[in-house]
Amino acid sequence: MRDLFDSSVERLFSDLVTADAVLACEGGEWPTELWTAVEASGFTLALVPESLGGAGATWADVCGVLRLAGRFNLPLPLPEAMLANWLLGASGLAAVLGTLSVAARGTLRLENGRVTGAAVDVPWGRHVRHVVAVAAGAAPAVVLLPTEAATVVRTVNTAAEPRDTLKFEAVVPLASAALPTALSADVLKLGGAMMRAAQIAGALETVLAMATTYAGERVQFGKPIGSFQAIQHQIAVLAEHAAASVMSAEAAFAESDDRLARLPVMAAKICASEAAGIGAGVAHAVHGAIGFTHEHALHLTTRRLWSWRSEFGSLTDWSQQLGRALCGAGSQALWPSVTAGVLAAYEETAA
């Protein structure tokens, strides 16, 4: 399924997700036609079980889709919608058509059948009709909330992507279910981290290609700057980190199934967040002043890298979680955790 997904998404994005389209969205427009085209392709339901009307794809099947979303600077909550519908499906709830996002941070509580509190940093919160969240309460619950019931505080990240706060006051969810016991209360943060890791990997593929091309073309001191050793080595480092991001994202998706593979996902977001800064820095250093202009497309990707690395848990946040778990388990647990891809001691205490 992977190859089919990758090729159809690549065709779709390269037709529709032009630099102009991205810039228009950054100006505040909601790209109705683009969303309609993406939704028509079925990807928002890709991870929903066939029994619930989805494509029944695995996480491994869609890693390429997410990387491509990153590569093309897709200005839509497609990753969020896929994650949201996956969680609805995993919770036995029907998937949602139409615009959809996730709320991974905030103070939402479900009490007496109503949800109150703030959902913070909701991607495209002002534009979507629905939001999926895990609400606290007697037991954590997956809830589907209508955004029309929320007060919106607008916030925008460095890529001009909306990251809004939605405040709910005693709102009856459109659907709700107990969070499956196999999933942790931070499942949306973890899932969002996995999405962003893949998007960063794709974005790094873009800036690597741009830097390589530019270095081969731009002439200074009578030769292409790509023939200078200092430039070559910087681009080599960018390539190394792009490769590490791709690898770690692929591993995280491949190891996730009904539940998200916590250790590989943490590793992926940590590596991707580190790579994002390095990659953006090298790409700008290579491009010089031209890459610093609004006219050049480089910033479409680097501004995303600068925000995505911080979203759904920064390098520090996930590293500290992982480091605390490893120290808690003791040195003899380190290597077995690495080879098993599972931190046994952590899994016990985390949920």
Partner 1 sequence: MSIDQFKYSRIPPEAEALRAEVRAFLAEALKDYPAVRRADSWMGFDAEFSRRLGAKGWVGMALPKRHGGGEASPFARYVVIEELLAAGAPVSAHWFADRQSGPQILHYGTDAQKERHLPAICRGEQFFCIGMSEPNSGSDLASIKTRARREGDKWVVNGQKVWTTNAHRSHYMIALVRTGENSKRQEGLSQFIIDLSLPGITIRPIKDLTGAEHFNEVFFDELVLDADAIIGTEGQGWGQVTAELAFERSGPERFLSSIALLHTLIDAVGRSPDALQAKEIGRFAARLVTLRNMSLAVTAQLAAGNNPAWEASVVKDLGAVFEQEIPEVAQLLCELPPTVQGGSDHAQVLAYLTQMAPSFSLRGGTREILRGIIARGLGLR
Q: What residue 98 binds from a copy of itself, partner 1, none (CB within 5 to 8 A, per partner kind)?
A: none
Binding of a copy of itself at residue 228 (CB under 8 A)? yes
Among 146, 341, 347, 351, binds partner 1 (CB under 8 A): 341
Under the criterion CB under 8 A, does residue 351 sit at the interface with partner 1? Answer: no
- Residues in Cβ contact with 202 at an 8 Å cutoff, skipping those fewer than 6 apart: 66, 67, 68, 69, 70, 71, 72
The span from the CA of 247 to the CA of 253, in Å, is 10
Instruction: Specify the DSSP class assigned to residue 202.
Output: H
Partnered with residue 175 across adjacent β-strands are 144
The least CB distance from residue 326 to a copy of itself, in Å, is 20
Task: Please report whether residue 181 would count as binding partner 1 according to CB under 8 A.
Answer: no
Contact residue for partner 1 among 14, 151, 324, 348 (CB under 8 A): 324
Which residues, in sequence order, are bridge partners of residue 133? Answer: 103, 143
State the DSSP H helix or E strand holding residue 100, giving kind and residue range, or none if neither. Answer: strand 100-103
With residue 83 as reference, give the H or E element that holds it. Answer: helix 78-90
Q: Give the DSSP letter string of 240-264.
A: HHHHHHHHHHHHHHHH-SSS--HHH
By CB under 8 A, residue 196 contacts partner 1: no
Our finding on whether 51 is near a copy of itself (CB under 8 A) is no
Number of residues that bind partner 1 (CB under 8 A): 95
Of 116, 155, 185, 347, which one interacts with partner 1 (CB under 8 A)? Answer: 155
Closest to partner 1 by CB, 36 or 316: 316
Give the shortest CB-232-to-a copy of itself separation in angstroms. 9
CA atoms within 13 A on the CB side of 156: 11
Quick one: which of 20, 230, 289, 332 contacts a copy of itself (CB under 8 A)? 230
Task: Tell me: does residue 233 bind a copy of itself (CB under 8 A).
Answer: yes
Q: Which is nearer to partner 1, 69 or 244 (CB)?
A: 244
The C-alpha atoms of residue 96 and residue 191 are separated, in whole angstroms, by 18
The pair of three-digit structure tokens given for residue 313, joined into one six-digit string: 């848990």
3 touching partner 1, by CB under 8 A: no
Between residue 30 and residue 89, which ones bind partner 1 under the rule CB under 8 A?
none
d(CA 70, CA 293): 21
Q: Say if residue 88 is exposed, middle or buried (CB neighbours under 10 Å; 0-12, 13-18, 19+).
A: buried
Residues 82-121, mask of contacts with partner 1 (x by CB under 8 A): ---------------------------------------x
288 binds partner 1 (CB under 8 A): yes
List of residues contacting a copy of itself (CB under 8 A)? 228-230, 233
